[in-house]
Structure 1
Amino acid sequence: MTLMKTRFVATLLAGSMLLGASGALAEVVLNRGNSGEPKSLDPAHISINIEGFIIRDMFEGLTINDASGKIVPGAAESWKVSDDGTVYTFKIRDNAKWSDGSPVTAEDFQFAMRRLENPKTAAEYANLLYPIKNAEKVNTGKLPVEELGVKVIDAKTLEITLERATPYFLQLMSHYTALPISKANYEKFGDAFVKPGNMVNNGAFKLESHVPNDKLVEVKNDQYWDAKNVKLDKVVFYPIEDDAAAVRRYEAGELDVVYNFSADQLKRLRSAYNSQVHVSPSLATYYYAFDTRQEPMSDVKVRRALSMAIDRDFLSSEIYSGAQLPLYSMVPPGMEGYEKPAVPDFASMSQIDREDKAVELMKEAGYGAGGKPLNLDIRYNTNSNHERVATAIADMWKTTFGAKVTLTNLDVASHYSYLKEGGKFSVARAGWAADYADPENFLALTLGDNTTFNYAHWKNPEFDALMKKSYDEKDQKLRMEEMHKAEQILVDAQPVAPLMNSADLWLVSDKVSGWADNAVNEHLSKYLSVSK
């Protein structure tokens, strides 16, 4: 009996060990190459997509994008809209919880939005929520934060009042500026709430660890309201700015998903990996900004001449292998109701005629052959594609005008920080992907009072007036017409030179399921799974 009992216990122990080992082996991990280190993990202080990919995994807004990019309920299970479109009442899910088990409340959303608009926070993206009543006045210090049009009805009911009907408001509520943070947790840790060990999350994943410039690890949030449908146990983001290194790690099986790769590799990668290569047209614009605060960029003739001399067809076909399309408008094509975006008069010229006219304009401005020397510096964020574009444009300007062009590159976070903080430059590379599918999202970048994203520091009263009129216009068709007039002023003045309609380049392993290309380039890890 004793011997049999001993053998039985031993068998049980062995079985338990095997089960434990099996459980460990069964951990489902998604390894994502993320093209750069996030500047911050604070929703109030991020502004680029590689930060958004991480943040939206960990925090969930009232609305979210589904796998196809469509707006669907998130932390809010439903909402009602007033007849005039100015009051939204959101019902937050009863089972929405923070990762520490405490309930997600209407007050958490109110607290986060008040914090974002508080001028002391200095949130770079605060203007995005200006459609909310009094948001701009709060953000500019004219009203206290308590006057923001975000009202707690009860623990699970939030009412948001707008300045005017805003057709894209539900899209805004999925943006990281509208994400909640736990009021109780913030009161405990202050701005240090973003640190591993301090942070609590209401999204599908929670922060486990973060070693800057190495990796960031998220683990499944078992308190998430839809945790039963989340198939991943862990997501690891690797901030790899070197495109070639990212591709090598993908080909070695170390990465399951890679965002961005050098476009000159497109043909080879398609040949080798076929459907794993994703080129997804997006509502995004690749552009160069000219610093209009200083000569020679303060001269519209110089700006127009430089823009005209850029062969966009060459950039598209030779550098991006057709993965990006030539663009002359700031607003990318595909905006519902906007019809055809405005373009400058030189868009219809041949490249040869364009260059001839550019030389004339530059001569009129007093620069180039026989005039003042044209010394330029192109700034760009570290990326092989951006480097090749900058090198090509530098050669175009040298050939056309005899310009002396230098190149300056910084990592992505430093590059955009420099621009947003008002650093001086002559030419700077930038890109913008739609936060919501409306032309306003692109045109508002160059408003005179947009101190964060108006990298060109361009001010045009007529442009600003037309944009203001569009905000007050309730008729959608007339609103679009006002914005079209505003864009015409913008593209004629060329404080920014739109270059290409961007496409998003991804490598997605055939082990990954649930992936769907979409124009807003949103790919929440909660929809993905990995097979072994």
Structure 2
Amino acid sequence: MTHKKTMINTLLLAALFGGASQAHAADVPAGTKLAPEQVLVKGNGSEPATLDPHKTEGTVESNIQRDLFEGLVSSGPKGEVLPGVAESWETKDNKHFVFHLRKDAKWSNGDPVTAHDFVFAFQRAVDPKTGSPYSWYMEIPTIVNASEIIAGKKPADTLGVKAVDDHTFEVQLEKAIPYFVSMLSHTTTYPVPKKVIEQFGDKWTQPGNMVSNGAYQLKDWVVNERVDVERNPHYWNNAKTVINKVTYLPIQSTNAELNRYLAGEVDMTYQMPIERFKQMKKEKPDELKVTGYVGTYYYTFNTKRKPYDDARVRTALTYAIDRNVIADKVMGQGQTPSYALVPDFVDGFKPVAPEWSKLSQAELDAKAKALLAEAGYGPGNPLKFELLYNTDDNHKKVAVAVASMWKKLGVQVSLVNQEWKTYLETLKQGQFDVARRGWIADYNEASSMLDLMQTTHGNNDGKYSNPTFDKLMDESRDQVDDASRNKLYAQAEEILAKDMPIAPIYQYVTARMVKPYVGGYPANPLDNLYSKDMYVVAH
């Protein structure tokens, strides 16, 4: 998939001339007959670990939070930057940004949303006391003092953010980051209600306690059963919202989810069971939605454990994965083989395929055996390890296929699966050999993928560290023009191809079933779906 989006260009124009784009809301075509009951039921993969925007690191949580909260900007149907709480913004140098907040933005309890709420939220995100797994996200665009605060060297109130008045919010960066505004639709940058958090502490996200500023508010949360959100009457654009209630179901089994969809219990699935994709394509082609996705599925090596601290072992295991088989035969939904961290679908950068990607699988297997032998592994001393993945039918199928490919090298693999929350904790503690990972860009730019491999990145689970790579990514933030940044990105990918801290497997697509009566479903390259953009047609 090589068609490009216009997000960065839109962003640059908005950044230079002030954001004043079309408001984000359901766009119901004239003459559409709406269903009397505007309720949406979505499959959501797993039980959310949290609903706190500053404690979140997964898509399961973000899906719900996009309904509950709204940041300074939103992500449009095609990934374009749209105004959120900020109705306009400007910058003269891509370092100092001024956001003008809409005066009718309110919390679900009726209180106004102010610039002070964003100051509190940004400071809370970087404060070590919060323990945010995404605190690094504020460090990436070089918000003044973010790195020092995260490292515990400066207090949170020294962060480069300021409320000039109730409706003017300023951010000061250390470097010129032209794509900064596009980063601000991410959950980590959402405002949170200070007085509610001070009153309830960690329990502020429970039903009855939670106050949010998005198109919806939390109604109910039954653990391992459902999360219900309903219209927030105080939302500034509530008049344009159509869906009244959304239910999120944590269904881990893709087969069970599809069965419930076919039985009419679910309106949109989270994903698709691999083995039933062709059947659905044949029987319900209009309901099967497959769109490009800025993300890569990969396995990460624990570089702090022997022998995965040895690049020869990592490279051998990476070479032995037949990506064509995984993409075409195991997945078969439009995924393409991946040989690098950055997918082809990203905006503004075309990854260069590494040399090894041009070899046949037989040649790669031969190289892999030689590398393992060089590292001291063979028939007399087979490499044995555990492959960790989070509970999911599709992840299991990939793991079984890859384990059989590794077996040809004489490698003995034990498969270990854990439910989502436990799996995240295991990764965080570094208690794994090799683990399943996937990374979806937080904003449509190559740095959102490559930054993952920086030494200080909070989601660098394999603890890979290369000072040259870090320096390149740091230098990329000094480049205002795309060509200069892309040159550094290409060099960064070359280092990854040499060090092989991860084994890229395939480039994502989103494949899900959507009922024909669900209107407003977008082809968003980041899969940023907002229920407020959708509506239910009479059926």
| TM bracket (short chain) | over 0.9
Could you say which residue in structure 2 is the equivalent of 1:41? 51
- Is the counterpart of residue 338 in structure 1 residue 349 in structure 2? yes
1:448 match: 455
> Which residue in 2 is equivalent to 1:66?
76
**CA deviation profile, 1:99-121 (whole Å, cap 9, x unmatched):** 11110011011101111111111
Amino acid at match of 1:441: S
For 1:76 and 1:526, the matched residues in 2 are separated by 17
Give the C-alpha shift of residue 322 in structure 1.
Answer: 4.3
What CA deviation, in whole Å up to 9, does each residue of 1:317-344 have, x standing for no partner? 11111421101011111333323x2443
Q: Which amino acid aligns with 1:430?
A: R
2:97 to 88, 112, 120: 88
Write out aligned runs for 1:132-531 (5 A). Answer: 132-339=143-350, 341-370=351-380, 372-399=381-408, 401-419=409-427, 421-450=428-457, 452-531=458-537
**1:120 partnered with 2:141:** no
Is residue 263–residue 323 contact of structure 1 (8 Å, CA) maintained in 2?
Answer: no
Distance 2:345 2:260 in 1: 35
**CA distance, structure 2, for counterparts of residue 479 and residue 272 of structure 1:** 45
Report if aligned partners of 1:86, 1:162 keep a CA contact under 8 Å in 2: yes
Name the CA distance, whole Å, in 2 between partners of 1:188 and 1:374.
Answer: 53
Paired with 2:385 and 2:188, the residues of 1 have a C-alpha distance of 35
Higher percent of residues as helix: 1
- Alpha-carbon distance between aligned partners in 2 of 1:160 and 1:343, rounded to the nearest angstrom: 37
> CA 1:337–1:232 in structure 2 vs 1: closer, same or farther (change >3 Å)?
closer
2:277 and 2:333 in contact (8 A); partners too: no
Q: Distance in 1 between matches of 2:324 and 2:422?
A: 30
Per-residue Cα deviation, 1:426-465 (whole angstroms, up to 9, x for no partner): 1100000110111111111111122x21111111122122
- The amino acid across from 1:455 in the alignment is D
List aligned pairs for 1:75-114, cutoff 5 A: 75-81=85-91, 83-114=92-123
Deviations 1:30-77 (A, max 9, x none): 000111111000000111112111001000000001233221001111
Cα contact 1:338–1:439 (8 A) shared by 2: yes
Contact kept, 8 Å, 1:217 with 1:235, in 2: the verdict is yes
Aligned-partner SS, 1:121: coil
Equivalent position of 1:3 in the other structure: none
SS of the equivalent of 2:198 reads helix
**SS of the residue 1:498 aligns to:** strand
Report if aligned partners of 1:330, 1:491 keep a CA contact under 8 Å in 2: no
Q: TM-score, normalised by structure 2?
A: 0.91
Structure 1, unaligned stretches of length 5 or more? 1-24
Contact 1:337–1:477 under 8 Å retained in 2: no
Q: Which one has a bigger Cα radius of gyration?
A: 1
Distance in structure 1 (CA, Å) of the matches to 2:322 and 2:396: 16
SS in 1 for 2:436: strand
* Partner Cα distance (1:69, 1:337) in 2: 13
Measured against aligned partners, the alpha-carbon deviations of 1:184-228 in whole angstroms (never above 9, x if no partner) come to: 222222232111101111100000010110000000001101111
Q: Write the letter of the residue equivalent to 2:418.
A: L
Structure 1, 386-395 or 405-414: larger mean CA deviation = 405-414
**TM-score of the superposed pair, with normalisation by structure 1:** 0.92
Query: Shift of residue 292 of structure 1?
Result: 1.1
Closer, same or farther: CA 195–395 of 1 in aligned 2, 3 Å: same
Q: Which moved more, 1:283-292 or 1:61-70?
A: 61-70
The alpha carbon displacement at 1:402 in A equals 1.3
- Which deviations, in whole Å up to 9, do the C-alpha atoms of 1:384-417 show, x marking residues without a partner? 1110110011111112x11211100011232123
Q: In 1, Cα distance between the equivalents of 2:257 and 2:272?
A: 8
3-state secondary structure, aligned to 1:120: coil
Q: Distance in 1 between matches of 2:271 and 2:315?
A: 30
Match of 2:61? 51
Q: Deviations over 1:450-499 (max 9, x none)?
A: 2x211111111221222222223344322221221112101211110111
Match of 1:21 in 2: none
Task: Write the deviation string for residues 160-202 of structure 1: whole angstroms up to 9, x where unpaired.
Answer: 1111111221111110000001122222222321111011111
Mapped contact 1:107–1:183 kept (Cα < 8 A): no
Alpha-carbon deviation of 1:286?
A: 0.2
Q: Secondary structure at the match of 2:286?
A: helix
SS at match of 1:480: helix
* Ranges in structure 2 where 5+ consecutive residues have no aligned partner: 1-34
Distance in 2 of aligned mates of 1:55 and 1:311: 37
Distance 1:517 1:474 in 2: 29
User: Could you tell which deviates more after superposition, 343-352 or 377-386?
Assistant: 343-352
Preserved CA contact (<8 Å) 2:39 2:244:
yes
Deviates more, 1:330-339 or 1:214-223: 330-339
Q: Distance in 1 between matches of 2:443 and 2:179?
A: 7
User: Aligned letter for 1:259?
Assistant: Y
Partner of 1:197, secondary structure, is coil
The answer on whether the counterparts of 1:326 and 1:501 sit within 8 Å (CA) in structure 2 is: yes
2:176–2:477 contact (8 Å) kept in structure 1: no
User: Which consecutive segments of 4 or more residues in structure 1 shift more than 4 A?
Assistant: none
